[in-house]
A and B are shown apart, each in its own frame.
Chain A
Amino acid sequence: MSTSTRTARERLARRKKSMAWTFCLVLVLSMALPLGAYLVTTPGAVAQPAGERFSEEHATNPRSDTWRHARADGEGFTTASGPYVTNQLISNIGENWRQMRNGPVKAVGSWVMGLSLAAVALFFLVRGRIRLDGGRSGMTVPRWTVFERSVHWFVAISFIILSITGLSLLFGRHVLIPLMGNAGFAGYAQAAMYVHNFLGPAFGVALLVMILMWIRNNIPTGTDLKWFATGGGLIGKGHPSAGKLNGGEKVWYWLGVVIMGSIVVVTGFILDFPNWGQSREIMAWSQVLHAVVAMFWIAFAFGHIYIGTLGTEGAFEGMAKGRVDTNWAKQHHDLWYDELIQQGVKPEPAEEAGATAPSPEPAAGQKPTS
């Protein structure tokens, strides 16, 4: 009984073992056998000398080579001439660019801009307007010169115009054609395109002036790290120290104006001057980069615009009139204010007597009405 069970057990074990080995053998052979063809065929039969291309024994279809070449952006010869004539039979960039522009570019761009607006609105509802701690002192110090303000407002107004015209070309088909109709939108789009294309280069030049003008104010320092550590004054009590420009403003300068601005301006020039002879491929990818970076920049600008106008009491007049209230300067840019006083700048009373009175704006952030 026991021996028979043992043999039965042994038999079962043997069978299992042989099954396992058989399975392994099948696996190995199934992988190895197809490779046997590699040994049979003479290596180097793939590369044929040009003379043997049509010989019968290696019957490669000459047509397949031709069409493969054509399919892979291959270029041929054409007698036709003109600025938009190409010698490519099939250009692959076209479909790829279409998929990119009509898919991810539109989707990502609209989401990024929408989320940015939502974040700004949410911040306003939660935190409200950042008030001056001690109200206004009625005394002001100079912050931005006339030249600086002129450059800033030229860039700012151009930015808004370029954003609206540019976004009209990207999203107009979905948003504006249903409103204006095809003919109405085409007229608007023609004007928008010309405004965009002629204002763009001027914007680029002004942006370069702005970058050079403010680079010395935007050198990162240790103070900025402390400013970031307190979240620009949002975390904890009191206000972090800052020089003429705080950490947030420096990020806007470097990431927004310098990096994003340069990408948008350079790609814009590539698109705006087709007479420089760049290929369709370069122009198509420039368009993708231009649109994506511009929309990220617009999303970033929403934050900048909010902080400079609605978000912070006393900030806007610095760029509008050039002078800021001393209390605003002490609260937001204390190091810069101390430096000014040391340099012997005397605070002067504000031009309008009304400016000393508390502004009759609704207290934001309390309970939003409607």
Chain B
Amino acid sequence: MARMKFLCDAERCIECQACVTACKNEHEVPWGVNRRRVIVMDDGVPGEKAVSVACMHCTDAPCAAVCPVDCFYTTDDGVVLHDKDLCIGCGYCFYACPFGAPQFPQQTAFGVRGKMDKCTFCAGGPEPAHSEAEQVKYGTNRLAEGKLPLCAEMCATKALIAGDGNVLSDIYRKRLIKRGGRPQTWGWQAAYGQEA
């Protein structure tokens, strides 16, 4: 089986937020919940790098390891999903995740957070594919239609690519060979010169 992965090419990402918008719109994600976000390192200085981050669908997922109710499961495609019917909103997955992927609809006193929500790799949830319940809880199940996650599909510069890990690494390897592997010959410096 394929192992689904996201890959964000920091040399190509232009921080246009199309992936964020596509995700929010496709899955009707509520305010305050961000399944995907763009983080810019060294923002505003030469050499800044933007990276689009969401759930990385880890092999040995920390969220699944710390969940008190064991509501996470990994699909045959290597996508890490969770069951909102089991989730109790304890917030442990948010502490454990290195990427800050788990999100909660509210943040109030007495630890009331609501059910955790995160990127599903556009693969829905445990409910039957394309059912009303799945749509409401997890958003669209594009994978069941044979489509890839919308964020990657809509990326204008193809910085964000999604799919089988082997295919992604082939694509990325070809890009690196094309660039000659030296950061000085690509990206910011190539466009604006050495002494930018």
Contacts and interface: CB of A to CB of B under 8 A. Distances in A.
A189 B69 contact: yes
User: Is chain B's interface secondary structure helix, strand, loop, or mixed overall?
Assistant: loop
Interface stretch (A226-234, A273-281, A334-342): A273-281
A83 B100 contact: no
A98 interface: yes
Contacts of B68: 169-170, 172-173, 189
Given A84-B94, A186-B71, 17 more contacts: A54-B194, A56-B184, A66-B41, A66-B42, A83-B32, A89-B39, A89-B99, A95-B96, A98-B96, A198-B110, A271-B111, A275-B107, A275-B108, A275-B109, A283-B95, A284-B96, A287-B92
Given A62-B47, A77-B39, A172-B69, A193 B88 contact: yes
A95 B69 contact: no
Contacts of B111: 193, 197, 271-274
B100 A86 contact: yes
A94 interface: yes
A66 B49 contact: yes
Shortest 5 CB-CB contacts between residues of A and residues of B:
A83-B107, A80-B37, A82-B32, A77-B43, A186-B86
Given A66-B42, A89-B53, A102-B65, A177 B95 contact: no
Interface of B: 10, 17, 20, 31-34, 37-47, 49, 51, 53, 62, 65-71, 83, 85-92, 94-100, 102-104, 106-113, 182-184, 189, 194-196
In this complex, the member of A55, A89, A97 whose beta carbon has the largest number of chain B beta carbons within 10 angstroms is: A89
Contacts of B69: 172-173, 177, 182, 185-186, 189
A53 B45 CA distance: 12
A193 B68 CA distance: 11
A84 B99 contact: no
Contacts of A93: 95
B70 A76 contact: no
Contacts of B103: 82, 84-85
Interface of A: 50-51, 53-56, 59, 61-63, 65-66, 69-70, 74, 76-95, 97-98, 101-102, 169-170, 172-173, 177, 182-183, 185-186, 189-190, 193-194, 197-198, 201, 271-275, 280, 283-284, 287
Contacts of B195: 51, 54-55
Nearest to B97: A94
Given A91-B98, A198-B110, A272-B110, A66 B47 contact: yes
Nearest to B15: A79
Contact of B38 (A80, A102, A173): A80
A182 B86 contact: yes
Contact of A54 (B39, B106, B184): B184
A55 B43 CA distance: 20
Contacts, number: 175
A191 to B, nearest CB: 9
Nearest to A55: B194
Nearest to A93: B95
Contact of A280 (B37, B43, B67, B95): B95
13 contacts: A51-B195, A54-B195, A63-B183, A81-B32, A83-B32, A83-B104, A85-B37, A89-B53, A98-B62, A186-B69, A186-B87, A274-B107, A280-B94
Contacts of B85: 183, 186
Contacts of A193: 88-90, 111
A95 B110 contact: no
Contacts of A98: 62, 65-66, 96
Contacts of A198: 110
Most B CB atoms within 10 A — which of A82, A90, A194?
A82
Nearest to A53: B47
Contact of A76 (B39, B90, B196): B39
Contacts of B100: 84-86, 88, 91, 280
B38 A189 contact: no
Residue of B39, B42, B91 with most partner-chain A CB within 10 A? B39
